[in-house]
Amino acid sequence: MATSLDVLDVQGKKAGSVELPAELFDVQTNVPLIHQVVVAQLAAARQGTHKTKTRAEVSGAGRKPFKQKGTGRARQGSIRAPQMTGGGIVHGPTPRNYSQRTPKKMIAAALLGSLSDRARGDRLHVIESLALGENPSTKSVIELLSKIATSKHVLIVLERDDELSRRSVRNISTVHVLPPDQLNAYDVLVSDDIIFTKAAFEAFVASKSKKEEVSA
């Protein structure tokens, strides 16, 4: 069963409505699943370029630092040994790939569960457009956000070719912008409010509906 959501204009007034398909915005929020997907996404973002030098790689001669006997000190075989100053590191980090294999259906389910949580909490908004006229206006966007999304972290979903809206929001530090095809569970969860332009919302719903038809 689909529910409706008001579409707002730039002044924050109702300018229509859109249907929220229940299969996209009213699904069960599986917290363990979302946690697994988010952890995998953050792991994949790690560079994994950490590296320390072993005793075979640090600079230094292979000679003994001092003679074996007669000094009263513990015997040492190399100035590159781990216990020596400037020596190699034992069991230090080496370059590795942190990415985890996550099935596409799990990623999709985590996204829909996150969006459904925001929709049930009245944190999902749809606006006609962020553009006023032919020039970008950051001031008008800030005024709009003060009316519909006063939270500290806001995710705005724009179509890729909506350059005017993108230029209007790019200098707002509390706003993160994504195209609908890059929407993911992590960015939804770290954002308190999700704002779609009407065109981006329709593109997102159409893409998900098309995939469901193909899989069926």
Tell me the pLDDT tens digit for each residue of 172-182: 988 999 999 99
pLDDT at 132 over 80: no
Q: How far from chain centre, in Å, is Cα 140? A: 27
Q: How far apart are CA 216 and CA 205, in angstroms?
A: 17
Q: How far apart are CA 150 and CA 144, in angstroms?
A: 10
pLDDT tens figures, 14-32: 888 899 998 999 899 999 9
Mean pLDDT for all residues in the chain: 89
| Helix, strand, or coil (residue 26) | coil
Pick 191 or 2 by higher pLDDT.
Answer: 191
Nearest CA-CA partner of 117 in 213, 17, 24: 24
Across 165-176, average pLDDT: 90
Of the pLDDT bands very low, low, confident and very high (cuts 50, 70, 90), residue 216 is very low
Tokens representing 139 are: 């001031």
Q: What is the pTM of this model?
A: 0.80
pLDDT tens figures, 89-108: 999 999 999 999 999 999 99
Q: How far apart are CA 122 and CA 105, in angstroms?
A: 26
Q: How far apart are CA 85 and CA 173, in angstroms?
A: 45
pLDDT at 165 over 80: yes
Planar angle of CA 117, 121, 126, nearest 5 degrees: 90
> pLDDT over 70 for what percent of the chain?
96
